[in-house]
Amino acid sequence: MSEKKFKRSAHVVLTSHSKQLYKSSLKINWGAKTPKERGPVIGSLTDIKERNAIGTHSGSYSVYRALSIAQGSYKTDHRPDLHNTESPVKIGPYASWFDPDKMVSIDPWGLDVQLNFKELYDQGYDIRPTISVTQAHLQLPEIHDAIRAGRLKVDGKIVKENMDIKVTKVALEPVWYLPGIAKRLGVEEGELRKILFQETGGMFPELVTRPDLKVMLPPIGSTTVYIFGNPADLADSKVELTCRVHDECNGSDVFGSDICTCRPYLIYGIEDAARTAQRGGVGIIAYYRKEGRALGEVTKFLVYNARKRQEGGDSAATYFRRTECVAGVEDARFQELMPDILQFFGITKIHNLHSMSNMKYNAIVKSGIEVVNRIQIPAELIPADAQVEIEAKKAAGYFTPGEVKKGDALEKVKGRPIDE
Protein backbone atom coordinates (compact mmCIF):
# COMPACT_ATOMS: atom_id res chain seq x y z
CA MET A 1 0.00 0.00 0.00
CA SER A 2 1.17 3.55 -0.76
CA GLU A 3 2.92 5.44 2.03
CA LYS A 4 0.84 8.52 1.20
CA LYS A 5 0.75 10.78 4.30
CA PHE A 6 -2.04 13.08 5.39
CA LYS A 7 -2.20 15.76 8.04
CA ARG A 8 -5.59 16.79 9.28
CA SER A 9 -6.19 20.52 9.43
CA ALA A 10 -6.70 22.07 12.85
CA HIS A 11 -9.51 24.31 11.62
CA VAL A 12 -13.05 23.09 11.06
CA VAL A 13 -14.20 22.60 7.48
CA LEU A 14 -17.95 22.32 6.94
CA THR A 15 -18.86 20.13 3.96
CA SER A 16 -21.86 22.27 3.13
CA HIS A 17 -20.97 23.94 -0.13
CA SER A 18 -20.43 22.86 -3.73
CA LYS A 19 -16.77 23.91 -3.55
CA GLN A 20 -16.25 20.88 -1.29
CA LEU A 21 -16.50 18.64 -4.39
CA TYR A 22 -13.11 17.16 -5.24
CA LYS A 23 -11.81 15.19 -8.21
CA SER A 24 -10.39 12.54 -5.88
CA SER A 25 -13.87 11.88 -4.43
CA LEU A 26 -14.99 8.69 -6.17
CA LYS A 27 -18.48 8.20 -7.55
CA ILE A 28 -20.75 5.53 -6.04
CA ASN A 29 -22.97 3.64 -8.51
CA TRP A 30 -25.26 1.74 -6.14
CA GLY A 31 -26.26 -1.68 -7.49
CA ALA A 32 -23.42 -1.99 -10.01
CA LYS A 33 -22.28 -5.54 -10.80
CA THR A 34 -18.60 -5.22 -9.88
CA PRO A 35 -16.81 -3.37 -7.07
CA LYS A 36 -14.87 -1.38 -9.66
CA GLU A 37 -18.09 -0.17 -11.30
CA ARG A 38 -19.78 0.43 -7.97
CA GLY A 39 -16.94 2.34 -6.34
CA PRO A 40 -15.97 2.23 -2.64
CA VAL A 41 -17.75 4.02 0.19
CA ILE A 42 -15.18 6.29 1.82
CA GLY A 43 -16.21 7.74 5.16
CA SER A 44 -12.73 7.93 6.67
CA LEU A 45 -11.31 11.29 7.77
CA THR A 46 -7.62 10.98 6.89
CA ASP A 47 -8.23 12.96 3.67
CA ILE A 48 -11.52 14.86 3.37
CA LYS A 49 -10.98 15.20 -0.39
CA GLU A 50 -11.59 11.46 -0.77
CA ARG A 51 -14.83 11.34 1.24
CA ASN A 52 -17.97 10.43 -0.69
CA ALA A 53 -20.36 9.70 2.19
CA ILE A 54 -22.10 11.49 5.05
CA GLY A 55 -20.91 10.45 8.51
CA THR A 56 -18.01 8.18 9.34
CA HIS A 57 -17.15 4.57 10.12
CA SER A 58 -17.89 2.48 13.25
CA GLY A 59 -21.45 3.68 13.80
CA SER A 60 -22.08 4.86 17.36
CA TYR A 61 -18.50 4.00 18.31
CA SER A 62 -17.26 6.94 16.22
CA VAL A 63 -18.16 9.10 19.24
CA TYR A 64 -15.82 7.09 21.48
CA ARG A 65 -13.11 7.42 18.84
CA ALA A 66 -13.59 11.19 19.02
CA LEU A 67 -13.14 11.09 22.79
CA SER A 68 -9.92 9.10 22.39
CA ILE A 69 -8.64 11.67 19.92
CA ALA A 70 -9.59 14.53 22.24
CA GLN A 71 -7.70 12.80 25.06
CA GLY A 72 -4.66 12.43 22.82
CA SER A 73 -4.57 8.61 22.86
CA TYR A 74 -5.67 8.06 19.25
CA LYS A 75 -3.80 9.41 16.23
CA THR A 76 -5.96 11.23 13.72
CA ASP A 77 -3.88 9.93 10.82
CA HIS A 78 -4.18 6.25 11.82
CA ARG A 79 -4.98 3.94 8.91
CA PRO A 80 -5.93 0.31 9.62
CA ASP A 81 -3.47 -2.37 8.57
CA LEU A 82 -5.83 -4.88 6.91
CA HIS A 83 -3.22 -7.56 6.29
CA ASN A 84 -4.61 -11.02 7.23
CA THR A 85 -8.05 -9.59 8.15
CA GLU A 86 -9.92 -11.09 5.18
CA SER A 87 -12.87 -13.45 5.64
CA PRO A 88 -12.03 -17.12 6.34
CA VAL A 89 -15.02 -18.17 4.17
CA LYS A 90 -16.26 -16.98 0.81
CA ILE A 91 -19.48 -15.00 0.81
CA GLY A 92 -21.05 -13.80 -2.45
CA PRO A 93 -21.36 -12.07 -4.70
CA TYR A 94 -25.03 -12.93 -5.25
CA ALA A 95 -27.68 -11.55 -7.60
CA SER A 96 -29.09 -9.52 -4.69
CA TRP A 97 -25.83 -7.54 -4.59
CA PHE A 98 -26.53 -6.15 -8.05
CA ASP A 99 -30.11 -5.06 -7.40
CA PRO A 100 -30.18 -1.48 -6.05
CA ASP A 101 -33.49 -2.19 -4.32
CA LYS A 102 -32.52 -5.41 -2.48
CA MET A 103 -29.99 -3.85 -0.13
CA VAL A 104 -30.19 -0.19 0.82
CA SER A 105 -28.98 -0.26 4.44
CA ILE A 106 -25.70 -2.20 4.12
CA ASP A 107 -22.86 -2.23 1.60
CA PRO A 108 -22.15 -5.76 0.30
CA TRP A 109 -18.83 -4.62 -1.12
CA GLY A 110 -17.81 -3.41 2.35
CA LEU A 111 -16.48 -6.94 2.95
CA ASP A 112 -12.74 -7.41 2.30
CA VAL A 113 -12.30 -3.94 0.82
CA GLN A 114 -8.56 -4.42 0.49
CA LEU A 115 -9.34 -7.16 -2.04
CA ASN A 116 -12.50 -5.78 -3.68
CA PHE A 117 -10.89 -2.37 -4.22
CA LYS A 118 -7.24 -3.48 -4.34
CA GLU A 119 -6.14 -1.04 -7.03
CA LEU A 120 -7.56 1.97 -5.22
CA TYR A 121 -6.45 0.66 -1.84
CA ASP A 122 -2.88 0.25 -3.10
CA GLN A 123 -3.00 3.80 -4.47
CA GLY A 124 -3.52 5.00 -0.91
CA TYR A 125 -7.26 5.54 -0.69
CA ASP A 126 -8.35 5.05 2.93
CA ILE A 127 -11.12 2.52 2.23
CA ARG A 128 -12.38 0.85 5.38
CA PRO A 129 -14.47 -2.30 5.86
CA THR A 130 -18.08 -2.12 7.00
CA ILE A 131 -18.42 -5.93 7.10
CA SER A 132 -16.12 -8.49 8.69
CA VAL A 133 -16.26 -12.26 9.07
CA THR A 134 -14.61 -14.63 11.53
CA GLN A 135 -15.21 -18.03 13.12
CA ALA A 136 -15.87 -18.89 16.74
CA HIS A 137 -17.26 -21.36 19.28
CA LEU A 138 -20.38 -20.66 21.34
CA GLN A 139 -20.52 -21.81 24.96
CA LEU A 140 -24.10 -21.67 26.24
CA PRO A 141 -25.42 -23.47 29.34
CA GLU A 142 -28.83 -24.03 27.72
CA ILE A 143 -27.13 -25.79 24.82
CA HIS A 144 -25.33 -28.06 27.29
CA ASP A 145 -28.74 -28.86 28.77
CA ALA A 146 -30.11 -29.64 25.29
CA ILE A 147 -27.23 -32.06 24.67
CA ARG A 148 -27.75 -33.81 28.00
CA ALA A 149 -31.47 -34.06 27.25
CA GLY A 150 -30.76 -35.63 23.87
CA ARG A 151 -32.22 -32.80 21.75
CA LEU A 152 -28.76 -32.09 20.31
CA LYS A 153 -25.93 -34.52 19.76
CA VAL A 154 -22.16 -34.13 19.78
CA ASP A 155 -20.99 -34.71 16.22
CA GLY A 156 -17.51 -33.19 16.37
CA LYS A 157 -18.35 -30.83 13.50
CA ILE A 158 -21.24 -28.56 14.46
CA VAL A 159 -21.30 -29.50 18.15
CA LYS A 160 -17.81 -30.17 19.48
CA GLU A 161 -16.81 -32.76 22.08
CA ASN A 162 -16.74 -30.08 24.80
CA MET A 163 -20.31 -29.11 23.81
CA ASP A 164 -19.26 -25.88 22.05
CA ILE A 165 -21.08 -24.96 18.85
CA LYS A 166 -18.89 -23.95 15.94
CA VAL A 167 -20.18 -20.89 14.06
CA THR A 168 -19.22 -18.33 11.47
CA LYS A 169 -19.74 -14.78 12.76
CA VAL A 170 -20.43 -11.77 10.55
CA ALA A 171 -20.53 -8.15 11.72
CA LEU A 172 -22.29 -5.63 9.49
CA GLU A 173 -22.25 -1.87 10.01
CA PRO A 174 -25.11 0.19 8.57
CA VAL A 175 -24.45 1.94 5.25
CA TRP A 176 -27.53 3.77 4.03
CA TYR A 177 -28.18 4.50 0.36
CA LEU A 178 -30.55 7.40 0.93
CA PRO A 179 -32.54 7.21 -2.34
CA GLY A 180 -33.13 3.49 -1.65
CA ILE A 181 -34.05 4.10 2.00
CA ALA A 182 -36.57 6.72 0.94
CA LYS A 183 -38.08 4.41 -1.68
CA ARG A 184 -38.30 1.56 0.85
CA LEU A 185 -40.13 3.80 3.33
CA GLY A 186 -42.38 5.35 0.69
CA VAL A 187 -41.22 8.96 1.19
CA GLU A 188 -39.41 11.53 -0.94
CA GLU A 189 -35.63 11.54 -0.53
CA GLY A 190 -35.61 15.26 0.25
CA GLU A 191 -38.18 14.81 3.01
CA LEU A 192 -36.23 11.89 4.50
CA ARG A 193 -33.00 13.91 4.50
CA LYS A 194 -34.71 16.88 6.15
CA ILE A 195 -36.26 14.77 8.91
CA LEU A 196 -32.99 12.89 9.55
CA PHE A 197 -31.25 16.26 9.88
CA GLN A 198 -33.88 17.68 12.22
CA GLU A 199 -34.34 14.62 14.44
CA THR A 200 -30.59 14.18 15.01
CA GLY A 201 -30.33 17.75 16.23
CA GLY A 202 -28.63 18.97 13.07
CA MET A 203 -25.79 16.48 13.47
CA PHE A 204 -25.23 16.06 9.73
CA PRO A 205 -25.72 19.32 7.76
CA GLU A 206 -24.74 17.50 4.55
CA LEU A 207 -28.13 15.83 4.63
CA VAL A 208 -29.69 19.12 3.53
CA THR A 209 -26.74 20.95 1.97
CA ARG A 210 -25.10 18.19 -0.08
CA PRO A 211 -27.76 16.35 -2.14
CA ASP A 212 -24.91 14.96 -4.26
CA LEU A 213 -23.86 12.74 -1.33
CA LYS A 214 -26.22 9.76 -1.56
CA VAL A 215 -24.67 7.45 1.06
CA MET A 216 -24.77 7.89 4.83
CA LEU A 217 -22.97 6.05 7.62
CA PRO A 218 -25.46 6.55 10.46
CA PRO A 219 -24.26 6.59 14.10
CA ILE A 220 -26.30 3.55 15.12
CA GLY A 221 -25.54 -0.01 16.16
CA SER A 222 -24.42 -2.77 13.85
CA THR A 223 -25.92 -6.21 13.19
CA THR A 224 -24.25 -9.53 14.01
CA VAL A 225 -25.00 -12.79 12.22
CA TYR A 226 -24.19 -16.31 13.46
CA ILE A 227 -24.13 -19.06 10.84
CA PHE A 228 -24.42 -22.75 11.69
CA GLY A 229 -23.05 -24.99 8.94
CA ASN A 230 -21.74 -23.99 5.52
CA PRO A 231 -22.34 -20.26 4.81
CA ALA A 232 -22.54 -20.98 1.06
CA ASP A 233 -25.63 -23.12 1.67
CA LEU A 234 -27.61 -20.06 2.76
CA ALA A 235 -28.06 -19.14 -0.91
CA ASP A 236 -29.15 -22.64 -1.94
CA SER A 237 -32.95 -22.80 -1.75
CA LYS A 238 -32.82 -26.61 -1.83
CA VAL A 239 -30.90 -26.76 1.47
CA GLU A 240 -33.08 -26.57 4.59
CA LEU A 241 -32.58 -23.21 6.28
CA THR A 242 -33.59 -22.35 9.86
CA CYS A 243 -33.57 -18.66 10.74
CA ARG A 244 -34.14 -16.48 13.78
CA VAL A 245 -34.23 -12.69 13.24
CA HIS A 246 -33.77 -11.26 16.74
CA ASP A 247 -33.88 -7.71 18.06
CA GLU A 248 -31.54 -6.93 20.93
CA CYS A 249 -32.81 -7.18 24.50
CA ASN A 250 -29.91 -6.68 26.89
CA GLY A 251 -31.93 -7.41 30.02
CA SER A 252 -33.09 -10.84 28.87
CA ASP A 253 -30.43 -11.86 26.32
CA VAL A 254 -27.48 -11.13 28.60
CA PHE A 255 -28.80 -10.97 32.17
CA GLY A 256 -31.76 -13.35 32.04
CA SER A 257 -34.52 -10.92 33.03
CA ASP A 258 -37.82 -12.81 33.05
CA ILE A 259 -40.24 -10.08 31.99
CA CYS A 260 -39.95 -11.06 28.32
CA THR A 261 -39.32 -14.10 26.12
CA CYS A 262 -36.24 -12.73 24.33
CA ARG A 263 -33.45 -14.99 25.63
CA PRO A 264 -35.52 -18.19 25.66
CA TYR A 265 -36.65 -17.58 22.07
CA LEU A 266 -33.10 -16.69 21.01
CA ILE A 267 -31.61 -19.81 22.59
CA TYR A 268 -34.37 -21.97 21.11
CA GLY A 269 -33.49 -20.53 17.71
CA ILE A 270 -29.81 -21.29 18.24
CA GLU A 271 -30.57 -24.86 19.27
CA ASP A 272 -32.78 -25.44 16.24
CA ALA A 273 -30.27 -23.77 13.90
CA ALA A 274 -27.55 -26.14 15.13
CA ARG A 275 -29.89 -29.12 14.84
CA THR A 276 -30.75 -28.14 11.26
CA ALA A 277 -27.06 -27.90 10.36
CA GLN A 278 -26.47 -31.36 11.85
CA ARG A 279 -29.05 -32.90 9.53
CA GLY A 280 -27.44 -31.35 6.46
CA GLY A 281 -29.10 -27.96 6.47
CA VAL A 282 -27.89 -24.54 7.55
CA GLY A 283 -28.89 -22.14 10.30
CA ILE A 284 -28.66 -18.38 10.71
CA ILE A 285 -29.28 -16.08 13.66
CA ALA A 286 -29.38 -12.37 12.79
CA TYR A 287 -29.01 -10.13 15.85
CA TYR A 288 -30.13 -6.53 15.34
CA ARG A 289 -29.27 -3.65 17.70
CA LYS A 290 -32.81 -2.34 18.25
CA GLU A 291 -33.03 -2.30 22.03
CA GLY A 292 -36.51 -1.82 23.47
CA ARG A 293 -38.28 -1.96 20.09
CA ALA A 294 -35.77 0.68 18.93
CA LEU A 295 -37.04 3.00 21.67
CA GLY A 296 -34.06 2.44 23.95
CA GLU A 297 -33.56 0.87 27.35
CA VAL A 298 -34.46 3.97 29.38
CA THR A 299 -37.87 4.09 27.70
CA LYS A 300 -38.26 0.33 28.14
CA PHE A 301 -37.73 0.53 31.91
CA LEU A 302 -40.13 3.46 32.23
CA VAL A 303 -42.75 1.36 30.46
CA TYR A 304 -42.09 -1.55 32.83
CA ASN A 305 -42.78 0.74 35.80
CA ALA A 306 -45.91 2.19 34.22
CA ARG A 307 -47.26 -1.28 33.44
CA LYS A 308 -46.72 -2.61 36.93
CA ARG A 309 -47.99 0.49 38.77
CA GLN A 310 -51.18 1.00 36.77
CA GLU A 311 -54.57 0.35 38.35
CA GLY A 312 -55.20 -3.39 38.22
CA GLY A 313 -51.51 -4.21 37.86
CA ASP A 314 -49.52 -5.45 34.87
CA SER A 315 -52.05 -6.86 32.43
CA ALA A 316 -51.87 -8.37 28.96
CA ALA A 317 -54.94 -6.33 28.06
CA THR A 318 -53.03 -3.02 28.43
CA TYR A 319 -49.55 -4.21 27.40
CA PHE A 320 -49.16 -2.14 24.22
CA ARG A 321 -51.16 0.84 25.50
CA ARG A 322 -48.65 1.62 28.25
CA THR A 323 -45.76 1.59 25.75
CA GLU A 324 -47.55 4.08 23.53
CA CYS A 325 -48.37 6.33 26.49
CA VAL A 326 -44.70 6.64 27.42
CA ALA A 327 -42.97 6.43 24.02
CA GLY A 328 -45.61 7.86 21.70
CA VAL A 329 -45.59 4.71 19.58
CA GLU A 330 -46.00 0.98 20.26
CA ASP A 331 -42.95 -0.02 18.22
CA ALA A 332 -40.30 2.08 16.43
CA ARG A 333 -38.49 -0.80 14.71
CA PHE A 334 -40.66 -0.85 11.56
CA GLN A 335 -38.55 -3.73 10.03
CA GLU A 336 -38.47 -2.54 6.40
CA LEU A 337 -34.66 -2.58 6.41
CA MET A 338 -34.27 -5.85 8.33
CA PRO A 339 -34.28 -8.25 5.30
CA ASP A 340 -31.21 -6.53 3.79
CA ILE A 341 -29.03 -8.67 6.04
CA LEU A 342 -30.64 -11.85 4.66
CA GLN A 343 -30.24 -10.57 1.10
CA PHE A 344 -26.50 -10.15 1.70
CA PHE A 345 -26.19 -13.93 2.01
CA GLY A 346 -28.24 -14.57 -1.13
CA ILE A 347 -31.12 -16.10 0.84
CA THR A 348 -34.23 -16.77 -1.28
CA LYS A 349 -36.01 -19.34 0.90
CA ILE A 350 -36.39 -19.85 4.65
CA HIS A 351 -37.77 -23.25 5.59
CA ASN A 352 -38.13 -22.58 9.33
CA LEU A 353 -38.57 -18.99 10.54
CA HIS A 354 -38.40 -18.55 14.32
CA SER A 355 -40.54 -15.45 14.66
CA MET A 356 -44.10 -14.69 15.72
CA SER A 357 -43.85 -11.09 14.49
CA ASN A 358 -45.97 -10.31 11.46
CA MET A 359 -43.93 -7.16 10.87
CA LYS A 360 -40.79 -9.27 10.43
CA TYR A 361 -42.54 -11.95 8.39
CA ASN A 362 -44.19 -9.43 6.06
CA ALA A 363 -40.92 -7.55 5.51
CA ILE A 364 -39.06 -10.76 4.68
CA VAL A 365 -41.72 -11.97 2.23
CA LYS A 366 -42.02 -8.52 0.64
CA SER A 367 -38.28 -8.58 -0.02
CA GLY A 368 -38.76 -11.66 -2.20
CA ILE A 369 -37.78 -14.38 0.30
CA GLU A 370 -40.12 -17.36 0.59
CA VAL A 371 -41.03 -18.55 4.09
CA VAL A 372 -42.27 -22.13 4.43
CA ASN A 373 -42.84 -22.65 8.19
CA ARG A 374 -43.19 -20.23 11.09
CA ILE A 375 -42.21 -21.47 14.52
CA GLN A 376 -43.44 -19.94 17.77
CA ILE A 377 -41.66 -20.20 21.10
CA PRO A 378 -42.70 -23.38 22.97
CA ALA A 379 -45.01 -22.70 25.93
CA GLU A 380 -42.66 -24.39 28.40
CA LEU A 381 -39.92 -21.84 27.64
CA ILE A 382 -42.01 -18.78 28.52
CA PRO A 383 -41.12 -17.29 31.96
CA ALA A 384 -44.04 -16.68 34.31
CA ASP A 385 -43.70 -12.88 34.25
CA ALA A 386 -43.47 -12.95 30.43
CA GLN A 387 -46.98 -14.42 30.08
CA VAL A 388 -48.25 -10.82 29.90
CA GLU A 389 -46.07 -10.11 26.87
CA ILE A 390 -46.76 -13.31 24.96
CA GLU A 391 -50.53 -13.28 25.48
CA ALA A 392 -50.74 -9.59 24.56
CA LYS A 393 -48.81 -10.22 21.36
CA LYS A 394 -50.98 -13.17 20.37
CA ALA A 395 -54.11 -11.12 21.05
CA ALA A 396 -52.67 -8.35 18.87
CA GLY A 397 -52.34 -10.74 15.93
CA TYR A 398 -48.84 -12.19 16.31
CA PHE A 399 -48.48 -15.60 14.70
CA THR A 400 -49.66 -18.57 16.73
CA PRO A 401 -51.37 -21.83 15.81
CA GLY A 402 -52.69 -22.03 19.38
CA GLU A 403 -55.30 -20.36 21.55
CA VAL A 404 -55.72 -16.58 21.53
CA LYS A 405 -57.10 -15.10 24.75
CA LYS A 406 -59.62 -12.27 24.57
CA GLY A 407 -61.77 -10.21 26.91
CA ASP A 408 -61.80 -11.35 30.53
CA ALA A 409 -59.35 -14.18 29.83
CA LEU A 410 -56.79 -11.68 28.52
CA GLU A 411 -57.46 -9.29 31.40
CA LYS A 412 -56.71 -12.06 33.91
CA VAL A 413 -53.16 -12.58 32.58
CA LYS A 414 -51.17 -10.62 35.14
CA GLY A 415 -47.50 -9.96 35.83
CA ARG A 416 -45.68 -9.56 39.15
CA PRO A 417 -46.16 -6.38 41.19
CA ILE A 418 -43.24 -3.96 40.92
CA ASP A 419 -42.02 -4.55 44.48
CA GLU A 420 -41.77 -8.35 44.32
The alpha carbon dihedral of 85, 90, 91, 93 has a sign of: positive
Is 333 one of the catalytic residues? Answer: yes
Q: What is the largest CA-CA distance in the chain?
A: 73
Q: Which of 398, 409, 396 is nearest to 362 (CA)?
A: 398
DSSP H/E element including 133:
strand 131-138
Phi and psi, residue 293, nearest 5°: 55, 35
Alpha helices in 295-335 (DSSP H): 297-309, 319-327
Cis, bond preceding 93 (omega within 30 deg of 0) = yes
DSSP H/E element including 275:
helix 262-278
Q: Which of 112, 314, 331, 340 is catalytic?
A: 331
Alpha helices in 107-236 (DSSP H): 113-116, 118-123, 141-148, 178-185, 189-199, 206-209
DSSP for 90-121 reads -----GGGG-TTT-SSS-GGGBSHHHHTHHHH
Phi and psi, residue 253, nearest 5°: -60, -40
In the chain, the amino acid numbered 400 is: T
Distance (Å, rounded) from C-alpha 344 to C-alpha 102? Answer: 9
Q: Is 359 helix (H, G, I), strand (E, B) or coil?
A: helix
Q: Which of 333, 340, 408, 416 is catalytic?
A: 333
The alpha carbon of 16 is separated from its chain's Cα centroid by a whole number of angstroms, namely: 30
Is 331 one of the catalytic residues? Answer: yes
Active site residues: 331, 333
